[in-house]
Amino acid sequence: MSGKIIGAGVSLILCVGVVIGVVAVVQSPKNETSSTGELKTTNRAVTALCQNSDDQQFCHSVLSTTKSSDPKDYIATVVKTSMDSVIKAFNMSDRLTVEHGNSSAGMKMALDDCKDLLQSAIHELEASGVLVQESNIDAVNNHTSEIKNWLGAVVAYQQSCLDGFNTDGEKKVQEQLQSNSLDQVGKLTGLALDIVSGIAKILQSLDLNLILKPASRRLLDIDQEGYPTWFSAADRKLLDNIDNGGVIPHATVAKDGSGQFTTILDAINSYPKKHQGRFIIYVKAGVYDEYILVHKKKVNLLIYGDGPTKTIITGRKNYAEGTKTMRTATFCKSNFLSFHPNKNIFA
């Protein structure tokens, strides 16, 4: 794209898409209506769902409370149980902040980071839960990549939370948080990943006559032109127009004061709450020494500059000077970021 650098903000925290559903009920292929028949069907479903789990006894104990012939209900159960464990961990990190937050700046920073990460984990599990609840099992199977992305993010958030406790004085609080809540978060989210990862095989073992399509990975695939495959025709046209100078940005950032804003963060914060369509920010050539966090509610943001050697965002936060690793990122956006160097696209 001839030297342009573009940042397209989509709501998916990067420091370290779409809920589609049709309500439907999947019936067991066998017409078992008696209580004994229903129990057999339930046991069969649990056995099939737990077959890929590393800890089958734990899997059975989590799923045993659900009495259903629909595998989707069991996926919903394990996602909800994971959510409950994350909420418990969040509440515990809040309590530990009250008890230990004043002991040192590093301790407070680590606990605050944990709360932020666990809040993000809650959002990912909410997205997973909505997709499962509002889709039939065939649709759930077709969107396993999205669900796995969200669940994988929860595992990453859990580990990043623990990694934030670096010093000997912080290890006691880390152990407390880990043993009383975060270990359970990891186990339950790992179980959910096991079940979702093996869903196609599970459905076949249950003799459900569904058209099972391989799950797509829409967020990362690149087409022949170098664009992410999920880019719409309108977005492609927009990028071409930017490249040709045919776009009027909503906000312009310039160090010399020739734009509406002198910092990128101020321009991002000008994003209107009820804005429809892409909100476009042009960042003129210059070195911008700032730390940028794009909030996940700013879901339709696009940022472009004058090229990777002209428009530069930089910073120097580092662990050696007392900043936790999670807070050293210069450009941080709530959820997922991909980059294609040939087109200089952030999305």
What pLDDT score was predicted for residue 6?
44
What pLDDT score was predicted for residue 77?
92
Residue 284 tokens read as 């003129």
Class of the CATH-defined domain 5-14+218-346: mainly beta
Give 33-80 pLDDT, tens digit per residue: 444 444 455 677 788 888 878 888 999 999 888 887 777 888 899 999
CA distance 99 to 148: 35
What pLDDT score was predicted for residue 343?
36
**Spatial CB neighbours of 84, under 8 Å, sequence gap ≥ 6:** none
Number of helices (H) and strands (E) in the chain: give both, helices first.
11, 10
Q: What is the value of pTM for the model shown? A: 0.60
What pLDDT score was predicted for residue 54?
82
What pLDDT score was predicted for residue 345?
39
Task: Report whether CATH 2.40.50.100 matches the domain 35-205.
Answer: no
Q: Residue 142: exposed, middle, or buried by beta-carbon count in 10 A (0-12, 13-18, 19+)? A: buried
Which parts of the chain register pLDDT below 50? 2-39, 210-219, 334-347
What stretch(es) of the chain map to CATH 2.160.20.10? 5-14+218-346
Q: Residue 84: exposed, middle, or buried by beta-carbon count in 10 A (0-12, 13-18, 19+)? A: middle
Picking from 258, 237, 263, 259, the residue whose alpha carbon sits closest to that of residue 249 is: 259
What stretch(es) of the chain map to CATH 1.20.140.40? 35-205
Cβ burial 281-300 (10 Å sphere, 16+ → b, else e): bbbbebebeebbebebebbe
Q: Which residues partner with 331 through β-bridges?
A: 292
Residue 216 tokens read as 């797509």
